[in-house]
Structure 1
Amino acid sequence: MILLQVPLSTFVAGSTIHHQYMAFSDVNLKRFLKIDALRERNTPLLRMRVLYDGIEQVMIVKLMPSLFHSLAAARLHDILHEKFITLGVKKQIFSVGDGRFGDPNERFKEPDIAYTTNERNHDDFPCFVVEVGVAESLQMLKCDAHFWLTKSDKRTKLVLIIHIDKVLRKILLQR
């Protein structure tokens, strides 16, 4: 059952409409894994991030319509990578990209960028997460940060929020 449905034209880059979420209820883990397999095979689909709550059996899809979103995440990664090299910690801290973290029987999420250390297992929660929002409200980004800081059992130590307001031409960074 779809809780919120918005026409896909809404998600075209440059659209003035700012909705970017679709929520689906009654999505058990088996159904979610089938949907996820389709997503993996269909590369022409819109870029998206997924939050899955196995307890409530809800899947929330955040569509990524904007090039600004990708550019902000990529540029921050470049800056951090240069800083890691300068500090001599390039091999100790590294990006794990936008992989999925959490427990599918409870809740998991996909960050925009995540970093970890070589002391952790590759599937453990990241140490540091970056969440970017262009059409997304600052409050939604704070909800994303809350997930990482509370659901990781204190393994995620830092969340950086990048909120881009194209109308006001401002970028807000929050920790």
Structure 2
Amino acid sequence: MRQRDITPPPSLISGLPDDYITTSFSKLEYLCELAEEISESLNENRGGNQWLLVSSLPARMIRKLDGEERDTLGPSYRFQWEGSTGLIKVIPPSYGHGVIISRLFRAILRKFYRMGIDDTEYDWRGRTTFTPTKKGKQADETFFPQHRLQSLQYGRCGWPTLVIERGVSESLRRLREEAKWWFTHSKGQVRIVIVIGISETEKAVTFEKWQLAPPDAPLPLTREYRNALASSLPPSLQQPAETQQAYLAQKIYVRPGTVVGTPMVLPFATLIDRPPGPSENDVILDDKDVKLITRDIIGNY
């Protein structure tokens, strides 16, 4: 099942847990079997490896795995590829994993509703694929201001302002690498990536807000400079990959009876890509919001 003689692109294996599974493509049925084994293990153990690396994928199979048929492999998944190598993230089948993202974006929507923001100004897109040259990636969830969504509909690569990536707690290192993927390939047009690590065994959830430092930031970033950035907007200009410094701007840890690191602040101008009007302000997720978002994993407080 695991073949370590494969030499995959570094971008696909960086940060993966040691027990990720590797195979060379032979037929779809075998991929389905492997995905089902991973899903069953995640369900039984409430965590563990959720990654399947597949080499020698034909172009037709990449199109199929990337298609709109959500049950191609049986279990729910997200797909990323580079050249003929693909990386599959199997989504744990538990209710908590499935609902946490919808609770997060509903919390954001409630804030917009109270500001009087019309829902024609933005949209959420789940498995939308973004395809830089000879590679592509699906997110767990993406947020678009309307003008960027229009560019996507016209066939150009319109990038979201916010991306959400979630996984089991054992996947946090890999999810951080995926956050960097969004910044790198969008040239900084993705402003914020929220990484969610879930531990069902410990009934704990970690939220990490990642963003880019300004292009004139010191290299490497100092602690003092990071602290100074805490109240600043993410850069609104494009940045080539070689000048980027992604950093952890905020971390929230939640477990029964404990919420540390709130509130999470999502700047209005960063999300909607325009200055706020008189009744518009930043989206602030406080303790109450975070408890509601995580209640299916943590339980009622």
Between Structure 1 and Structure 2, which shows a larger proportion of helix residues? 2
Q: Which residue of 2 aligns with 1:149?
A: 183
SS, match of residue 131 in structure 1: strand
Q: Structure 1 stretches of 5 or more lacking a match?
A: none
* Greater mean alpha carbon deviation, residues 45-54 or residues 24-33: 24-33
CA distance in structure 2 between the aligned counterparts of 1:81 and 1:35, rounded to whole angstroms: 30
Change (3 A) 1:116 1:7: closer
Query: TM-score, normalization: structure 2?
Result: 0.51
Question: How big is the alpha-carbon RMSD for the aligned residues of Structure 1 and Structure 2?
Answer: 2.6
Change (3 A) 1:131 1:83: same
Alpha-carbon distance, 1:31 to partner = 4.1
Q: Which residue of 1 aligns with 2:89?
A: 62
Alignment of 1:84-163 (within 5 A): 84-89=112-117, 90-103=119-132, 105-120=133-148, 121-122=151-152, 123-134=157-168, 136-163=170-197
State whether residues 2 and 23 of structure 1, in contact with CA within 8 Å, keep that contact through their aligned partners in structure 2.
no
Deviation readout 1:10-64 (Å, 9 max, x if unpaired): 3125221611111111225344225545x7285672111000112xx21111111
Q: Which residue of 1 aligns with 2:59?
A: 29
CA distance in structure 1 between the aligned counterparts of 2:69 and 2:96, rounded to whole angstroms: 24
Alpha-carbon distance, 1:167 to partner = 2.1
CA distance in structure 1 between the aligned counterparts of 2:124 and 2:139, rounded to whole angstroms: 11
CA distance in structure 2 between the aligned counterparts of 1:115 and 1:102, rounded to whole angstroms: 17
CA distance in structure 2 between the aligned counterparts of 1:113 and 1:169, rounded to whole angstroms: 23
Change (3 A) 1:135 1:116: same
SS, match of residue 173 in structure 1: strand
Q: Report the residue type matching 1:94 in the other structure.
A: D
- The structure whose Rg is larger is 2
CA distance in structure 2 between the aligned counterparts of 1:7 and 1:116, rounded to whole angstroms: 30
Aligned residue-pair number: 171
Deviation readout 1:104-129 (Å, 9 max, x if unpaired): x4321111110011111235121100
State whether residues 101 and 109 of structure 1, in contact with CA within 8 Å, keep that contact through their aligned partners in structure 2.
yes
Alpha-carbon distance, 1:156 to partner = 0.6
1:10 to 35, 38, 46: 38
CA distance in structure 2 between the aligned counterparts of 1:173 and 1:95, rounded to whole angstroms: 19
Where in structure 1 do 4 or more consecutive aligned residues deviate above 6 Å? Answer: none
Q: Report the residue type matching 1:159 in the other structure.
A: V
Query: TM-score, normalization: structure 1?
Result: 0.84
Q: Report the residue type matching 1:148 in the other structure.
A: W
Q: Report the residue type matching 1:132 in the other structure.
A: R
Calculate percent identity across the aligned residue pairs.
23
CA distance in structure 2 between the aligned counterparts of 1:142 and 1:161, rounded to whole angstroms: 7
SS, match of residue 24 in structure 1: strand
